[in-house]
Structure 1
Amino acid sequence: MRPRLHFTAHSGWINDPHGITYRDGAYHVFYQYVPGSTSWAPNCHWGHATGPDLLSLAEGPVAIAPGDGDDGIWTGSLVQDGDDVRIFYTATSMPDFGIGRIRVAIPEADDWNSWQKGATVAEAPAGLDIIAYRDPFLVKEDDEWRMFVGAGLRDGTATALSYVSDDLDNWTYDGIALQRSTTETDQVWMGALWECPQIFHLGGRAVMVSSVWDDDVLHYAGYALGTYADGQFTADTWGRLTYGESYYAPSLFLDAAEQPCLSFWMRGIADIEEGWASAHSVPHRLRLEGDTLIAEPHPDVAAHRSGPVADGRTDGLGADIVWRAGDGSVAISSGGEETAQIIRTGGSASIVIGGREWSVPVRGGIRVVLDGPVLELSSDAGLFGAAISPAGDGFDIATDSAEVTVYSLV
């Protein structure tokens, strides 16, 4: 079973979205892609998809493939400086693919379907005992460019390394922008490596959002809040953004309204018999409330609604459930079989799917997006995602709360 609104490749494995760019009325999404496989392998390619929104993407040809000295084309970012468009990606080589190098590529045509590889512009700096190095993220700072690269040190310190350039060609290492030891657990544990560390400003604060990695285990998305200047991030707050085992690899982008948003890789969504594995989340728009980073489903999700549905029965396997406030329960079934149950009590929600149960924090209203085999739950306290197995061709949604409204998604 394939979701309709969550992006999946026609076949093969996908993971991290990256380089998401809105241009000339369409979104371009690049992503990690392993063709011909339903499991991850180090020979990743950059896939490419386009669409009017991130819920209506059409898969295109591979944008960048291994070769020319690269055994893998790992995560990176896309920048535009006037007519100058470049991808900065992690080039990996066997056998030590954990320590990559940063290489550039330029488009061969205006459709961005194929890219010509260029020079290597950065490598792991000498003097640091680095065991992992990857995932460049670029931002423009006044008259120069700043690049952050995720690196893990042998002593268990997660870092975002900083580089600076005035022309996108020549880069100078500028030290560690932010670091934290894996032994620190105050507020939230942030692991031994930050994959895809991205630093930006929101609501007058500096924000770093990343994936939390430790000893080859992929955990969740976390963040830091604080101040940033001249390549140095001073954190005063640490937080956790996602729960469950699905969300990973948040990718920052600006939407059509130039508002900051995240898209995630969703693990565990797959149809092995049909030959595809993994999906991308719906896009989430970001805001700050005090010391909390909040991600909420993008307005494009609501644009795909029909309804509301008076009897709780959706037309097809797509639903947007709006739970405005209060305790209670929502039972989701399909084809006469229970699909999921959500029970809210105070500041927590119990989510039961297929005999498994998770407890996640919630605050304020709750949104639940259902799309075939995908469930996404969001509130001001964070995000939860999981795979589900609907047995029918629609959902039946029952609730004991008067504060719940159900829409079909089309």
Structure 2
Amino acid sequence: MHDHHLPHFHVRLPRGYVNDPNGPVEFGGTTHLYFQSRSHAELAVPVEWGHATSEDLVHWTLQRPAMSPVPGGADSGGCWSGNTVVDGDRVRAFYSGKVDHSPYQSILTAVSDEDGTNFSRPAQVVDDPAPEEGVTMFRDPFVWRDGSTWRMVVGAAGPGSTASMRQYGSADGLSWRFEGELARLPRTLFDGVDTGEGWECPQVIALDGREVALVSSWSHEGGPGEVLAFPVDAAPAPRRVDDGHNFYAASVMRQGSHGQVLFGWITEGRDAALWQAAGWAGAISLPRRAWLDGDRLCSEPHPAVAALRAGSGRAADDATIGAQAEIVVPAVSGTVRVRYDEDHWLDVVLDLEADTLTLDRSAAGGEAGVDTEGAVSTQAFGDRAEWAARIFIDGSVVEVFTSSGRSITSRVYPTTPPPWRVQAPAGAVVWELARAVASASEAQPVRLESLTVG
């Protein structure tokens, strides 16, 4: 039975559970995107590293898992978040090894001599925090090369609900020394946002001559919160990277032919019982390009995303669409309504005078247990002449981008399948978008020797 909620151009598994993107890296002209995955939509299944490859950032081939837990090893409970770097003619991964009943996820490294398709057994490279430090969470390394020096940050939660990015340095990527904290902040409300008692998935991206931290706020009692960003050359003033409800665990590719690229985990917006019944959960966001506006990190779809468009654009108002589409709205106030049936719809409201874009899911429908809370981006519109908003629809995934660099990532689960009808302001244009994710067997012949699992 066809599931019209399934995304077709966002990276995800045909079945199973997908969460944090890990270590996007370009190697040999190919982009490798790793991500936490489980072969079944059950959280009790240990995490492994799923793997997808692309030549253009938008058409992806799903490969066999690149890394799986080693029974009795330092990651026996799961291969959790981290990243990858090119190390000569190899790809080197740094990640968190989960061991059941251990207070920390130890920082491990593993090497691929097989073009990033399969990684070796891991080795621990950073000591766990000493008990007297009072660290209550420690995980998720992010490593990059700074000239001849290797640098690493690890997310942590410490005494007094203080979130931090612990910093390490190395000459060879194997022997690491602790160099203090790159940034720290006691839990607070900043600009109405809970900054968290700990920071997961820390990333560092270079923008406009400054280093900018991206962190995922976290707490023991509430779990995941928001993706926040702030330049590290000043006191942390974290601001949301995405104004929606379903964007978390951002991951950065710092260098490559596509420039610096940002991905995130698109979480589910429905109760676990529903996604477990469906047999799948989670997806990876579209690739994004980022920049700084003052101290605020902004983003937009990477230019490569335009390759998803199938055929020519047409007037959006009164258009009929399938479950995969892009709607581009000019700089006018008005509402884009995606009408699923007579009683259910999704609204995107542009108010140029108030400088806001609002996503309204209250009438989108779906079963009990589906989140319908709305979202608002303020200071939403810049001086971009060609468009004010771009709306991407991919089954249950909605990603909205504004001309000032704000974004809203959300989920909707209408019970009525396509075709759906669009109502939009004059000048809005819609494109159908092509399917862009296939398994290795669908995309090309796969040699048996390439199907080993690490």
The one of the two structures with greater contact order (alpha-carbon pairs below 8 A, sep at least 6) is 2
Look up the match of 1:175: 180
Residue 101 of structure 1 pairs with residue 106 of structure 2: yes
Residue 385 of structure 1 pairs with residue 409 of structure 2: yes
Q: Tell me the distance in 2 between the aligned counterparts of 1:198 and 1:93.
A: 24
Look up the match of 2:65: 62
> Quick check: 1:262–1:283 contact (8 Å CA) kept in 2?
yes
- Aligned pairs for 1:97-136 (under 5 A) are 99-110=104-115, 112-126=116-130, 127-136=132-141
> Quick check: 2:300–2:405 contact (8 Å CA) kept in 1?
no
Deviation at 1:331, TM superposition (A): 0.6
Q: Tell me the distance in 2 between the aligned counterparts of 1:255 and 1:308.
A: 32
- Aligned pairs for 1:14-29 (under 5 A) are 14-29=18-33
Select which of 191, 198, 202 maps to 2:196. 191
Look up the match of 1:231: none
1:72/1:374 CA distance change after superposition, 3 Å: same
Select which of 385, 393, 416 maps to 1:370. 393
Give the aligned residue type for 1:248: Y
CA shift digits 1:240-268 (9 cap, x unpaired): 11123211000111475342221111111
> Quick check: 2:139–2:155 contact (8 Å CA) kept in 1?
yes
Give the aligned residue type for 1:119: A
Q: Tell me the distance in 1 between the aligned counterparts of 2:261 and 2:224.
A: 22
Residue 259 of structure 1 pairs with residue 275 of structure 2: no
Give the aligned residue type for 2:374: W
Select which of 29, 33, 40 maps to 2:43. 40
Deviation at 1:359, TM superposition (A): 3.5
Residue 329 of structure 1 pairs with residue 354 of structure 2: no
Look up the match of 2:347: 341
Look up the match of 2:375: 359
Look up the match of 1:89: 95
Specify the SS of the correspondent of 2:315: coil
User: What stretches of structure 2 of length at least 5 have no aligned partner?
Assistant: 364-371, 382-387, 435-454
> Quick check: 2:340–2:421 contact (8 Å CA) kept in 1?
yes
> Quick check: 1:243–1:360 contact (8 Å CA) kept in 2?
yes
CA shift digits 1:102-136 (9 cap, x unpaired): 111111423x2221123210123325211111110
CA shift digits 1:198-252 (9 cap, x unpaired): 123201222001111122421111111242xxxxxx3364321112321100011
> Quick check: 2:321–2:422 contact (8 Å CA) kept in 1?
no
Residue 201 of structure 1 pairs with residue 206 of structure 2: yes
Give the aligned residue type for 2:288: H
Give the aligned residue type for 1:165: S
Deviation at 1:276, TM superposition (A): 1.2
Look up the match of 2:287: 283
Q: Tell me the distance in 2 between the aligned counterparts of 1:324 and 1:194.
A: 37
Query: Mean Cα displacement is larger for which, 261-270 or 3-12?
Result: 261-270
Q: Tell me the distance in 1 between the aligned counterparts of 2:189 and 2:246.
A: 24
CA shift digits 1:6-51 (9 cap, x unpaired): 1111221110011111233322111111222x24347211111112
1:334/1:24 CA distance change after superposition, 3 Å: farther
Q: Structure 1 length as normaliser, TM-score? A: 0.91
Deviation at 1:336, TM superposition (A): 5.2
Deviation at 1:299, TM superposition (A): 1.4
Select which of 199, 207, 221 maps to 2:227. 221
Q: Tell me the distance in 2 between the aligned counterparts of 1:225 and 1:107.
A: 33
Question: How much identity, in percent, do the aligned residues show?
Answer: 29
Look up the match of 1:350: 358
Q: Tell me the distance in 2 between the aligned counterparts of 1:7 and 1:258.
A: 18
1:394/1:123 CA distance change after superposition, 3 Å: farther
Give the aligned residue type for 1:393: P
Deviation at 1:179, TM superposition (A): 0.2
User: What stretches of structure 1 of length at least 5 have no aligned partner?
Assistant: 228-233
Q: Tell me the distance in 1 between the aligned counterparts of 2:420 and 2:29.
A: 33
1:154/1:134 CA distance change after superposition, 3 Å: same
> Quick check: 2:58–2:307 contact (8 Å CA) kept in 1?
no
Give the aligned residue type for 1:213: W
Alignment size in residue pairs: 400
Look up the match of 2:147: 142
1:314/1:18 CA distance change after superposition, 3 Å: farther
Deviation at 1:92, TM superposition (A): 1.3
Look up the match of 2:423: 398
Specify the SS of the correspondent of 2:305: helix
Deviation at 1:311, TM superposition (A): 5.1
Q: Tell me the distance in 1 between the aligned counterparts of 2:349 and 2:191.
A: 29
1:244/1:174 CA distance change after superposition, 3 Å: same
Q: Structure 2 length as normaliser, TM-score? A: 0.82
Look up the match of 2:452: none
Q: Tell me the distance in 2 between the aligned counterparts of 1:311 and 1:351.
A: 18
Look up the match of 1:230: none
> Quick check: 1:50–1:59 contact (8 Å CA) kept in 2?
yes
Q: Tell me the distance in 1 between the aligned counterparts of 2:7 and 2:236.
A: 39
1:369/1:284 CA distance change after superposition, 3 Å: same
